Amino acid sequence: MAPAPTEAGWSGRVRLGENKHATTVVTPLLQIRNLNVSFPTPQGQVAAVREVSFSINEGEVLGLVGESGSGKSVTALAIMRLLPPVAGIEGEIIFQGQDLLKLPADHMRLLRGLRIAMIFQEPMTALNPVMRVGDQVAEAASVHAKLSKLEGYQRGIEALREVALPEPDRRARDYPHQLSGGMRQRVMIAMAIVNRPQLLIADEPTTALDVTIQAQILELLAELRARLGLAMLFISHDLAVISRVSGRVAVMYAGRIVELGSTRAIFASAVHPYTRGLLRAAPDLRTDRSRPLMTIEGTVPALNHLPPGCAFEPRCGLRIAECARSVPPLIEVAAGHLARCPVSSRAAAASLEH
Region 24-32 average pLDDT? 82
Mean pLDDT of 103-124: 91
Q: What are phi and psi of 17, to 5 degrees?
A: -165, 155
- What is the model's pLDDT at position 18? 40
pLDDT above 90 for 287: no
Pairing of strands 61-65, 231-236: parallel
Q: Report pLDDT digits (tens) over 116-125.
A: 999 988 888 8
Residue of 324 and 37 predicted with greater confidence: 37
Give residue 301's pLDDT.
87
* pLDDT of amino acid 260: 97
Listed in sequence order, the DSSP H helices in the chain are 8-11, 72-80, 105-111, 123-126, 133-142, 149-162, 168-171, 181-193, 211-228, 239-245, 263-269, 273-281, 321-325, 342-353
Q: What does the pLDDT read at residue 1?
A: 37
CB 247 within 8 A of CB 260: no
Please report the pLDDT score of residue 249 as a whole number: 97
Could you read off the pLDDT of 268-283 as tens digits, one per residue? 999 999 999 988 877 6
Are 3 and 330 spatial neighbours (Cβ–Cβ below 8 Å)?
A: yes
68-104 residue pLDDT tens:
889 999 999 999 999 999 999 999 999 999 999 999 9
Which of these ranges, 18-22, 87-91, 154-158, 263-267, has the smallest mean pLDDT?
18-22
Q: Is the confidence at residue 300, as pLDDT, over 50? A: yes
pLDDT at 168 over 50: yes
Instruction: Give the Cα separation of 32 and 35 in Å (integer).
Output: 7
Helix or strand or coil: residue 298?
coil
Residues of the chain with pLDDT > 70, as a percent, come to 87
Band of residue 286 on the pLDDT scale cut at 50, 70, 90: low
pTM for the model = 0.86
pLDDT at 350: 57
Q: Is the pLDDT of residue 348 over 80?
A: no
Q: Where are the domains of the chain?
A: 123-196
Q: What is the pLDDT of residue 345?
A: 66
Confidence at residue 16, expressed as pLDDT on a 0 to 100 scale: 36
Contact 6, 330 (CB under 8 A): no
Does the pLDDT value for residue 13 go beyond 70? no
pLDDT score of 179 more than 70: yes
* Among 3-12, 204-213, 316-325, 333-342, the least confident range: 3-12
Q: Is the pLDDT of residue 207 over 90?
A: no
For 138-147, what is the mean pLDDT? 87
CA 17 from centre of chain? 27
Does the pLDDT value for residue 333 go beyond 70?
yes
Neighbours of 229 (CB within 10 A): 11
Looking at every residue in the chain, the average pLDDT score rounds to: 86
Contacts 24+ apart (CB under 8 A), 164-167: 164/220, 165/190
Mean pLDDT of 123-147: 90
| CB crowding 57-68: b at 16 or more within 10 Å, else e | beebbbbbbbee
Which residue would you say has higher pLDDT here, 248 or 320?
Answer: 248
Query: Above 50 in pLDDT, residue 20?
Result: no
